[in-house]
């Protein structure tokens, strides 16, 4: 029996981890057809089927699961050994991070320039899609989201401090409409609603002391972009519920004013997160160090379990 190559075994481990030939191929930087050919050759050489394949999913067979259990620590040790050899030259290779647009802007204005200056051999791929994805399944090394959206089995590093969402409206709008004094009053207002990347409309969340409420607000206008929501509110089209940082300029210029401010407490802010059960690449470790140095809070670093 021909001895399988390390590359063939690593390819199998990638498919088994991602449960998808396409996602594994993207992570490995090869075509799906080439990866499929590699796995078929591996199974043929070993004389055993390693993966169950359907039109919708891929999963290890019993034999594949046993091989994967023995293979994962070997591949992890090999990666660590290679990382240690390259430490003198610094991290290299691709680093893929998934973030929403506000988080991506924050990283671009703070962490990214310094990180690229220190580690020129790293290729940073920063995806700023709004959709919340499974970073492991989609081949990302890390993600950035509000802390409340981070899965509990991830390791998180706080970025900056708390954030605050505010209900805002233009002075002209409030001259024509009695300002709301409680969240329930929004049912009698024109609200600028938000369409989430999932397609669902965002339900506005408020809290005051031990009271919490969620409102599916009415409104004739729905948008999927914070900047547009702020502009629409400033134009007098209704009340919007947006991050304070996004409305700060208009608030300072008095083009917007806040309503229900006592119902809008700060919440935990952005968090860089990654899978704790996987080997952490040298490039990601370096990125985390720069985040902690420039905008993070080492004391807030924690494992969310």
Instruction: Give the CATH fold of the 6-86 domain.
Output: Arc Repressor Mutant, subunit A (1.10.10)
What homologous superfamily does CATH list for 93-162+269-303?
Periplasmic binding protein-like II (3.40.190.10)
> Cα–Cα distance between 129 and 101 in angstroms, integer?
7
Q: If you count them, how many residues does the chain have?
A: 305
Q: Using an 8 Å Cβ cutoff, are 285 and 279 in contact?
A: no
> Cα–Cα distance between 59 and 287 in angstroms, integer?
32
What is the pLDDT tens value at each position of the chain, 305 positions in all?
677 888 888 888 888 888 888 888 887 878 888 899 999 988 888 888 999 988 778 889 999 889 888 888 887 777 666 666 655 567 788 999 999 888 888 899 999 999 999 999 999 999 887 677 888 878 889 999 888 888 888 888 888 788 899 999 999 999 999 999 999 999 999 999 999 877 889 999 999 988 999 999 999 999 988 999 999 999 999 999 999 988 999 999 999 999 999 999 998 888 999 987 667 888 999 999 999 888 865 444 443 43
Q: Using an 8 Å Cβ cutoff, are 126 and 109 in contact?
A: no
3 state SS of 128: coil
Q: How many CB atoms lie within 10 A of CB 136?
A: 20
Q: Which CATH number fits domain 165-263: 3.30.365.10, 3.40.190.10, 3.40.50.10140, 3.40.50.10490?
A: 3.40.190.10
Q: Where in the chain is the domain with CATH 1.10.10.10?
A: 6-86
């Amino acid at each position: 029996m021909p001895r399988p190559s390390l590359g063939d075994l690593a390819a199998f481990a990638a498919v088994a981890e991602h449960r998808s030939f396409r996602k594994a191929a993207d992570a490995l930087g090869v075509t799906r057809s080439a990866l499929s050919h590699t796995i078929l050759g591996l199974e043929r050489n070993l004389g055993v089927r390693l993966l169950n394949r359907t039109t919708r999913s891929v999963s290890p067979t019993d034999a594949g699961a046993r091989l994967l259990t023995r293979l994962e620590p070997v591949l992890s040790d090999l990666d660590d050994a290679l990382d240690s050899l390259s430490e003198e030259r610094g991290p290299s290779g691709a680093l893929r991070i998934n973030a929403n647009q506000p988080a991506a802007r924050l990283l671009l204005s703070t962490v990214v320039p310094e990180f690229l200056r220190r580690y020129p051999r790293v290729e940073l791929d920063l995806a700023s899609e709004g959709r919340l994805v499974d970073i492991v399944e989609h081949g990302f090394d890390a993600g950035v989201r509000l802390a409340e959206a981070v899965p509990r089995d991830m390791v998180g590093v706080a970025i900056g401090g708390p954030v605050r969402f505010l209900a805002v409206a233009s002075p002209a709008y409030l001259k024509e409409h009695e300002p709301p004094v409680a969240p329930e009053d929004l049912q009698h207002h024109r609200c600028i609603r938000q369409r989430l990347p999932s397609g669902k409309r965002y339900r506005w969340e408020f809290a005051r002391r031990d009271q919490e409420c969620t409102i599916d607000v009415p409104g004739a206008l729905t948008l999927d972009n914070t900047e547009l929501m702020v502009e629409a509110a400033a134009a007098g089209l209704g009340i919007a519920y947006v991050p304070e940082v996004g409305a700060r300029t208009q608030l300072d210029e008095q083009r917007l004013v806040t309503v229900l401010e006592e119902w809008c407490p700060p919440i935990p802010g952005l968090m860089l997160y990654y899978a704790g059960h996987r080997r952490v690449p040298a490039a990601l470790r370096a990125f985390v160090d720069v985040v902690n140095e420039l905008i993070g809070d080492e004391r807030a670093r924690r494992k969310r379990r």
